[in-house]
Amino acid sequence: MGGSFGFGFIAAQPISQQQLQTVRLLGEYKGKQALFAGQSPQVLETLRQVAVIQSIESSNRIEGVTADPERLKQLVAEKTAPRDRSEQEIAGYREVLKTIHQQHEAIPLKTGVILQLHRDLYQYLPPGMGGRWKASDNAITETDAEGRTRVRFRPVPAHQTPAAMDALHEGFASLRDKGEVEPLLLIAAYVLDFLCIHPFPDGNGRMARLLALLLLYQFGYEVGRYISLEQIIERTKEGYYDALYKSSQGWHEGQHTLGPWWEYFTAVMLLTAYRDYEQRVGAIVSKRGAKSDIVRDVIARLPARFQLADVERGCPGVARATVQRVMVALRDEGRIRCIKPGRDALWEKTPASP
């Protein structure tokens, strides 16, 4: 079996100057985390609350699992019990995400722990759906606009999955302990191999995103606590799948190239998250109302025309009354105007607005 953790494979992968620059920038951002935390803990708590909701919503929505926005808020706040399959899966993701946020330092990357986290992901569904490797072979497919389905990748067969997962964790631990590979590239390689093995009958994408967050935390990259990495992946979904496809070709033979996936993982996902983090914290620290300024920031990023629902989706941790109050203030400042009143009111930014 091939994969990325064969002897000398990762060390032999070419690294572009652009990727080296990205890794250096991420190291600089990592060094600024404590500075932001010390300056504005209240702002970070607001961002954390928003990021949790966005992460749960986006990671599940990528897999076609959705819920009403108000129900989602109640589920995340643990104010209601899940009432259907989608809500059960969302509640399970909430629990695993909470475990990683709170206990990441004590979670070893071992096969048994991965099974336990997958079991927890499905804890609200009937027993037996989580915590077990796949019992039959699976395939990663895509469907085109005309409804035709094709296989993009054939993962490791079911009977080889336990051995493949053991080998993945042994290879990762060996390179981690030697300290000879840049941690960000090592984490990205682990995520790629996990997805190529595709060890579970369901939930592989969500588990991969949760494990990426866990490993980033363990290596000191905390941005996922305040900026939803899952939402960035959802926004750049085409690039995400394209990079996975390019880097998975030849994976079984150990003849693949990690470059496209490394580029996506570090530059598109993680560097975008840190830049958003710096921009939001920097902008909010200089003002007085954290939640109000999150709303302003969201509106500034929306298209020229938008509705109240668009703003609420961008800042799920902010009460509707706060959103409406900020929109009224922006209207009074001449930055936005209502061009279609009523229940489905349509708003428009003025030419002078950001």
Q: What is the mean pLDDT of residues 213-238?
A: 95
State the chain's mean pLDDT as an integer: 90
Report the share of the chain in percent with pLDDT over 70: 95
Q: What is the pLDDT of residue 90?
A: 95
* Whether CATH 1.10.10.10 fits 290-349: yes
The answer to whether 92 and 125 are in contact (CB under 8 A) is yes
SS3 per-residue string spanning 225-270: HCCCHHHHHHHCHHHHHHHHHHHHCCCCCCCCCCHHHHHHHHHHHH
CA of residue 96 relative to chain centroid, distance: 13
Lowest pLDDT segment from 51-55, 168-172, 207-211: 51-55
User: Does pLDDT of 287 surpass 80?
Assistant: no
What is the tens place of the pLDDT at every residue in 52-92? Answer: 999 999 999 999 999 888 898 899 999 999 999 999 999 99
Residue 142 falls in which region: left (phi positive, over 0), alpha (psi -120 to 50) or beta: beta
Residue 342 falls in which region: left (phi positive, over 0), alpha (psi -120 to 50) or beta: left
What is the tens place of the pLDDT at every residue in 105-123? Answer: 999 999 999 999 999 999 9
Return the closest-CA partner of residue 195 out of 167, 165, 173, 230.
165
What is the tens place of the pLDDT at every residue in 242-279? Answer: 999 999 999 999 999 999 999 999 999 999 999 988 88
- In the block, tokens 């369901």 appear at 202
346-349 β-sheet, strand order: 305-306, 346-349, 336-340
Q: What is the pLDDT of residue 99?
A: 97
Return the closest-CA partner of residue 262 out of 250, 252, 271.
271
Structure tokens at 145: 């606009």
User: Does pLDDT of 315 surpass 90?
Assistant: no
Return the closest-CA partner of residue 197 out of 233, 240, 160, 249.
160
Q: What is the pTM of this model?
A: 0.81
Q: What is the pLDDT of residue 69?
A: 86
Find the helix packing angle between 41-62 and 17-39, rounded to 10°: 130
User: Does pLDDT of 43 surpass 90?
Assistant: no
- In the block, tokens 């998250």 appear at 273
Q: What is the pLDDT of residue 351?
A: 77
The 10 Å Cβ neighbour count of residue 97 is 24
Burial class (CB in 10 A: 0-12, 13-18, 19+), 343: exposed
Rounded distance, CA 182 to CA 272, Å? 19
Instruction: For residue 90, give the H/E element and its range.
Output: helix 85-103
Rounded distance, CA 63 to CA 21, Å? 33
We find that the CATH architecture of domain 10-285 is: Orthogonal Bundle (1.10)
Rounded distance, CA 98 to CA 316, Å? 17
Q: What is the pLDDT of residue 49?
A: 87
Q: What is the pLDDT of residue 286?
A: 47
What residue ranges of the chain are covered by domains with CATH 1.10.3290.10?
Answer: 10-285
The answer to whether 337 and 350 are in contact (CB under 8 A) is yes
User: Does pLDDT of 318 surpass 60?
Assistant: yes
Q: What is the pLDDT of residue 288?
A: 47
What ranges make up the beta strands (E) of the chain? 140-143, 149-153, 305-306, 336-340, 346-349
Torsion of CA 167, 168, 173, 175, to 10 degrees: 100
User: Does pLDDT of 289 surpass 50?
Assistant: yes
Q: What is the pLDDT of residue 38?
A: 66
User: Does pLDDT of 44 surpass 70?
Assistant: yes
